[in-house]
């Protein structure tokens, strides 16, 4: 039985796409579904090898001479779930439910970022009663992991130089500038050696996490960094410690909420005391941001050959020294983060530790400086560091008639002025600005909270309100 009101087109399409797996790099089913949608309605459609889909719809009668408009959003969602949730993002539909007017998914991310944008475009394309200029709807893939779809997009047949971005949240908030970014992959080979001791498990839980661009300045705890701090405290207690396994986080652009390690100690009691002592200190520090933080220990099965002393110490040192969080605040825009990074994923590939870091900055030179520091720290700790997935930021457009029109319509329809926002999060706008010189961009989207975490929720009244506004805006673009 449907959860949402099926008479509201954007609701209906959102619920339909929630039944189709569409995590980053797993968008093929959704991409094919979009192509089928277009063909069933006789619309022009092109599907790219990477999975991007472009659907065009002719202008309504009377709008033939109006400049075309692009609607744009991304197909993929961040796949996060609570530890106790059993859910396979490659095949299971999202389990939707409503609570006090907010839509959520049980135990998982909702994918309103950017499912609401995809659903909005489908609803508009499917409604022949709407009045609008020629539409070019661009659905991209792999935005969440590096904007690979926007980077690969062939824009040669796109005419529009007015773009409504639908990857937004905040109703009357439109992004005017966004950060560029870069990703680091750090690998450290570890060596095993016999060691006698007692094995303990260490688990960090209860952190809020969240989008590493939106919440990086909120002071939320990073489970990987906190686990390293806890293990360093064990080392400082004088107890001999060896690592058996260590992991944390699942996406480099999401602040990690959980982290785990198994260690072998010469004095288990002293190790547990050190962990409890540091856990209390951290809990006190995070009492305003992550009140549910916890660290737990327990007995574990001891392998015959954990990692040796040098490998264990160097990996913990690496994790402790890696910068994380805000590096520099903007001097031009009050309250805006200029440069930051997020130590997002820690995993093991056999006897090699792998650390994935997402970096963001509004300045290229500052991004380079942060990357150089991460590279130097990695080298000093005996690790290798590789950088990839660099993407451009979006510069502020001081003169934009399209933005002025958007503002006038918002004033007419909602009675409010749009808020022009510079954000630290990355966005696909930088690639569209590169590929389509002179393009003017605005953004519209509903209130969405706690994106990239299982707490994600979308205000459904706001979703409907934004959909109606976009329709009203298109109707007023007859020139």
Q: Which pLDDT score is estimated for 172?
A: 87
Q: Which pLDDT score is estimated for 145?
A: 85
CA dihedral for 79, 85, 90, 95, sign (positive or negative):
negative
Bridge partners (DSSP) of residue 371 are none
Q: Got the DSSP string for 207-222?
A: ---EETTTSTTTT---
Let me know: does 70 contact 158? Beta carbons within 8 Å: yes
Q: Which pLDDT score is estimated for 421?
A: 80
**Catalytic site positions:** 76, 143
Q: Which pLDDT score is estimated for 168?
A: 79
Q: Which pLDDT score is estimated for 330?
A: 87
d(CA 74, CA 22): 10
For residue 440, give the nearest of 68, 45, 119, 55 by alpha carbon: 68
**CATH number for the domain formed by residue range(s) 9-171+393-475:** 3.40.630.10
Secondary structure (H, E, C), 395-441: CCCCCCHHHHHHHHHHHHHHCCCCEEEEEEEECCHHHHHHHCCCCEE
Domains 9-171+393-475 and 185-391 share a fold: no
Distances (CA, A) of 357 to 44, 370, 385, 406, 456: 40, 11, 10, 37, 22
**3-class DSSP state for residue 349?**
strand
Domain covering 185-391: architecture: 2-Layer Sandwich (3.30)
Q: What is the tens place of the pLDDT at every residue in 173-224? A: 888 888 889 999 999 999 999 999 999 999 999 999 998 988 999 999 999 9
For the chain, the structural domain boundaries read 9-171+393-475, 185-391
Please state the pTM of the whole predicted model: 0.72
Distances (CA, A) of 185 to 151, 328, 355, 368: 20, 22, 6, 15
pLDDT per residue, tens digit, the chain (479 aa), is: 899 999 999 999 999 999 999 999 999 999 999 999 999 999 999 999 999 999 999 999 999 999 999 999 999 999 999 989 999 999 999 999 999 999 999 999 999 999 999 999 999 999 999 999 999 999 999 999 888 999 999 999 999 999 999 997 788 888 888 888 999 999 999 999 999 999 999 999 999 999 898 899 999 999 999 999 999 999 999 999 999 999 999 989 899 999 999 999 999 999 999 999 999 999 999 999 999 999 999 999 876 799 999 999 999 999 999 999 999 998 877 888 999 999 999 999 999 999 999 999 988 899 999 999 999 999 999 999 999 988 888 877 878 999 999 999 999 999 999 988 888 877 899 899 889 999 999 999 999 999 988 999 999 999 999 999 999 999 999 87
């Amino acid at each position: 039985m449907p959860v949402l009101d099926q008479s509201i087109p954007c609701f209906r399409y959102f619920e339909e796409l929630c039944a189709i797996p569409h995590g980053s790099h797993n968008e093929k089913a959704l991409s094919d579904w979009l192509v089928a949608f277009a063909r069933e309605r006789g619309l022009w459609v092109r599907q790219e090898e990477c999975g991007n889909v472009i659907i065009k719809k002719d202008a309504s009668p009377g709008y033939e001479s109006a400049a075309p408009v692009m609607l744009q959003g991304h197909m993929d969602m961040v796949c996060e779930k609570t530890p106790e949730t059993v859910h396979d993002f490659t095949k299971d539909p999202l389990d939707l439910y409503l609570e006090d007017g907010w839509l959520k998914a049980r135990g998982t991310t909702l994918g309103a970022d950017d499912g609401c944008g995809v659903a909005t475009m489908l609803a508009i394309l499917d409604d022949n009663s709407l009045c609008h200029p020629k539409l070019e709807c661009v659905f991209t893939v792999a935005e969440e992991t590096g904007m690979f779809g926007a980077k690969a997009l062939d824009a040669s047949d796109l005419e529009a130089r007015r773009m409504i971005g639908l990857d937004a949240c905040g109703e009357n908030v439109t992004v005017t500038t966004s950060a560029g970014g870069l990703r680091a992959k750090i690998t450290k080979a570890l060596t095993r050696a016999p060691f006698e001791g007692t094995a303990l498990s260490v688990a960090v839980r209860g952190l809020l996490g969240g989008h590493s661009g939106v919440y990086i300045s909120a002071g939320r705890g990073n489970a990987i960094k906190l686990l390293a701090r806890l293990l360093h405290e064990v080392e400082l207690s004088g107890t001999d410690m060896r690592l058996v396994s260590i992991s944390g986080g699942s996406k480099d652009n999401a602040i990690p909420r959980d982290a785990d390690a198994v260690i072998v100690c010469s004095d288990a009691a002293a190790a547990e005391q050190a962990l409890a002592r540091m856990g209390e200190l951290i809990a006190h520090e995070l009492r305003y941001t992550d009140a549910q933080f916890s660290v737990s220990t327990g007995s574990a099965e001891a392998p015959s050959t954990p990692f040796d002393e040098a490998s264990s110490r160097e990996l913990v040192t690496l994790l402790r020294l890696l910068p994380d969080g805000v590096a520099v605040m903007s001097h031009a825009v009050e309250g805006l983060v200029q440069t930051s990074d997020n130590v997002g994923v820690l995993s093991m590939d056999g006897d090699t530790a792998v650390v994935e870091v997402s970096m963001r900055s509004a300045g290229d030179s500052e991004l380079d400086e942060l990357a150089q520091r991460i590279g130097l720290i990695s080298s000093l700790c005996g690790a290798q560091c590789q950088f990839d997935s660099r993407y451009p930021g979006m510069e502020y457009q001081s003169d934009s008639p399209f933005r002025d029109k958007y503002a006038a319509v918002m004033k007419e329809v909602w009675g409010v002025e749009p808020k022009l926002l510079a954000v630290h999060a990355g966005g696909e706008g930088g690639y569209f600005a590169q590929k389509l010189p002179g393009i003017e961009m605005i953004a519209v989207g509903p209130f969405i909270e706690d994106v990239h975490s299982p707490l994600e929720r979308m205000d459904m009244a706001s979703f409907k309100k934004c959909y109606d506004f976009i329709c009203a805006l298109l109707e007023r673009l007859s020139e």
